[in-house]
Amino acid sequence: MIAQTVVLSAFLCSVHSFTIQDSLEKSNEYSGNTIEDDDFSISTLLERVNANVEEDSELSVSELLERANSNLIRSDNDPILTGGDIAIDSEAERNADPCTSRGCMWGKWTDGKVYIPYYIASHFSSREKAIITRGLESFSSFSCIRFRPSRSSDRDWLSIESKNGCYSYVGRRGGKQVVSLARQGCLYHGTIQHELLHALGFNHEQTRSDRDDHIKVLLQNVQSGMEHNFRKIATLNQGTPYDYNSVMQYHKYAFSRNNQPTMLPIPNSNVSFGNAKEMSRNDIARLNTLYKCLVISSGGVMMGGEDAAHPA
């Protein structure tokens, strides 16, 4: 009887231990904003932060970026940020698009593809590296852009690091070019696409030179000192229409000081905008146009790449 009791107790302890360990493993799996479930659609957030699954599934790329970059304590080593997440070297760059003032495109090879070297910093976990790599590789599905691991012979490359928030310089700058994807707050598929589009030469949608025909900026509701984020600049629109669904369009309450809208669509103020969680068809079209990707027509949308298809 005693022997049976000992065996039963050992079995129950084993089961209890396994349950705790299994629970801990699952808890650890969601302790950061990462996930490896490949069954998620590219149009949904592929990663989750902690237990806030319901909340984060509703956040747009714009909201995620603003949350990640708010209340940061910046050091002298951090670049100046404009537009919330665009890195610049001097205040003089705030009013100009570096791509139109100095040229910024990455070069195309004879095979018609644009190969962009990248390095992912070692401080990312293997899970986090997989998420970043998935974002990099998504561009090959609908364009001629091919991100590849950097080599010692590369003169220009993207260095993807977990710095202070989410940010990128606009366009090719030469040499080592940092793209910051902070481990806490930036590792989402849409935010990765957003920052890479900056690195490819694109600015925010609401800064387009023709934006006043499509949105009304309400500066009276903008946080003091953040007005520069709404300045118009010469952008690479590539003949595409203003896109409320662009992954580069900020949401209507961006940089609000009083929980009132900072932007309203016109002429119809009820149009939804700034809710993107991935690149839109117009984002893809202007990318392919800028880099002169060999494209095919699919429902009138410019596409590119070997497996030309809009992410579903």
Q: Which residues are annotated as catalytic?
A: 195
Residues 6+ apart with CB under 8 A from 30: 48, 50, 51, 53
Tokens read off for 211: 């934006």
Count helices and strands (H / E) in the chain: 7, 11
Q: Report how far Cα 307 is from the mean position of its chain's Cα atoms.
A: 22
Please answer whether residues 171 and 98 qualify as being in contact, where contact means their C-beta atoms are separated by less than 8 angstroms: yes
Please give the Cα distance from 94 to 100 (Å, whole number).
13
CB hemisphere CA count around 28 (13 angstroms): 8
- Determine whether the annotation assigns residue 204 to a binding site: yes
- Which tokens belong to 196? 């890479």
310 annotated ligand-binding residue: no
Check the annotation: does 198 bind a ligand. yes
What is the C-alpha separation between 179 and 200, in angstroms, rounded?
A: 11
Please say whether the beta carbons of 256 and 227 come within 8 A: no
Work out the number of other CB atoms within 10 angstroms of the CB of residue 274: 24
Give DSSP secondary structure letters for 174-212: SSEEEEEE-TTT--SHHHHHHHHHHHHT---GGGSTTGG
Q: Which residues are annotated binding-site positions for Zn(2+)? A: 194, 198, 204
